[in-house]
Copies of this chain bind each other. A is one copy, B any other.
Amino acid sequence: MTIYNFSAGPAVLPQEVLKKAQAEFLDYANSGMSVMELSHRSKEFDDIIKDAESLLRDLMAIPDNYKVIFLQGGGSLQFSMLPLNLAQGKKAYYVVAGSWGKKAYTEAVKLSKTIDFEPILLASSEETVYDHIPDFDASAIDPDAAYVHLTTNNTIEGTSVYDLPDTNGVPIVADMSSNILAVRYNVEDFGLIYAGAQKNIGPAGVTIVIVREDLLNDEPVLSSMLDYRIQAEAGSLYNTPPTFGIYMAKLVFEHVKALGGVDKMEEINREKSGLLYDYIEASDFYTSPVKNAKDRSVANIPFVTPSKELDAQFVKEADALGFKNIKGHRSVGGMRASLYNAFPRQGVLDLIDFMKKFEAENK
């Protein structure tokens, strides 16, 4: 049975990358050691982390005045590091279009009880269960604010921001965890981008931060580990980084480059997700909870049948046929097909075939 892994993260990785890592698992580049056994101060690992950075700079066209940092703790730790480093003594705005954006805002509020800054909820679509990307009036933004935070892709709700909003000149800071390298963004449109690796980049445990140099904190923050400037100036080697995860990220970057880069990935992803969206739209059995077609994510595609009972039955039958992890997030229910870069087109076709069959049997 072919297994298709629709997991929202940790997620499917390219088979070629896994095979390469497996082949050199015991002996990396004739070092006689596994990548995991390499000192993070060794020449071998130095090459790995420098290559990883250089490949990512190439793939995303990251300008020289941006630092690239490999950290730990996932997007969730960035929810606190971000205001700690960028917003002290300032306002910081949050556009909340999904559960993760809400968490980013909630953590900012928590932090603001100890650290002097003012998190402001600029817009939210929570009332309609995040079924769209909310609008806001740019003139309401204080131009001296530290940033406007948004989530480029809402993993749980299946919406994306493709056209960045007017923020009255205030830098946009984005959680790009679930569509980094999947669609093209212009890095220069952001003050800072962060992303957990476990969707489009590699295994869980690596976090990428891309930050414009002039936004780096001037003063040390409360912990060296949480200090962007210290981490950036140490070249992500302030302490022992997650070496194997960074190595896997490097392999994925090489793979994406060989496939044609981010523009090519976006083309593939739009076609791949388009197949599923078209089918859902044509069906009067399945529906998408996303209100506006323009907000649709190419990475995470939620859908529901006419009832919760049928949703549960769908998930059960799908699982038995090898369509794994297609259950929607517990907060929204239904189904969710996460079609990250490494997810094969054939899996979408096979899923649609199953959906047709399920519809015919249960309509």
Contacts and interface: CB of A to CB of B under 8 A. Distances in A.
Contact of A244 (B107, B203, B239): B203
Contacts of A239: 74-76
Contacts of A205: 72, 205-206, 241-245
Interface stretch (A58-66, A220-228, A277-285, A297-305): A220-228
Given A220-B110, A223-B77, A34 B13 contact: yes
Contacts of A222: 80, 110-111, 113-115
A325 B39 contact: yes
B196 A76 contact: no
A242 B204 contact: yes
Query: Could you say which interface size class chain A belongs to?
Result: 35 or more
A79 interface: yes
Nearest to A227: B110
Contacts of A226: 77, 80
A21 to B, nearest CB: 7
A312 interface: no
Interface stretch (A4-12, A130-138, A179-187, A259-267): A4-12
A38 B11 CA distance: 7
A111 to B, nearest CB: 5
Given A77-B226, A79-B225, A203-B242, 6 more contacts: A13-B34, A22-B25, A22-B26, A32-B324, A33-B324, A36-B202
B80 A325 contact: no
B110 A225 contact: no
A353 interface: no
A223 B22 contact: no
Interface in A19-54: 19, 21-22, 25-26, 31-34, 36-40, 42
Given A222-B111, A325-B39, A33 B21 contact: no
Nearest to A80: B223
A242 B245 contact: yes
7 contacts: A9-B39, A10-B40, A13-B34, A22-B26, A72-B74, A80-B226, A245-B245
Copies of this protein in the complex = 2
A225 B79 CA distance: 9
A335 B359 CA distance: 69
Contacts of A76: 224-225, 238-239
Given A204-B242, A220-B110, A42 B325 contact: yes
A349 interface: no
Contacts of A245: 205, 242, 244-245
Contacts of A202: 36
A248 interface: yes
Nearest to A12: B37
A224 B107 contact: yes
Contact of A25 (B18, B42, B75, B198): B18
A8 B39 contact: yes
A204 B241 contact: yes
Given A22-B26, A72-B73, A225-B73, A13 B36 contact: yes
A275 interface: no
A3 interface: yes
Contacts of A37: 5, 7, 10-13
Contacts of A243: 10, 203-205
3 nearest A-B residue pairs (beta carbon):
A3-B32, A205-B242, A80-B223
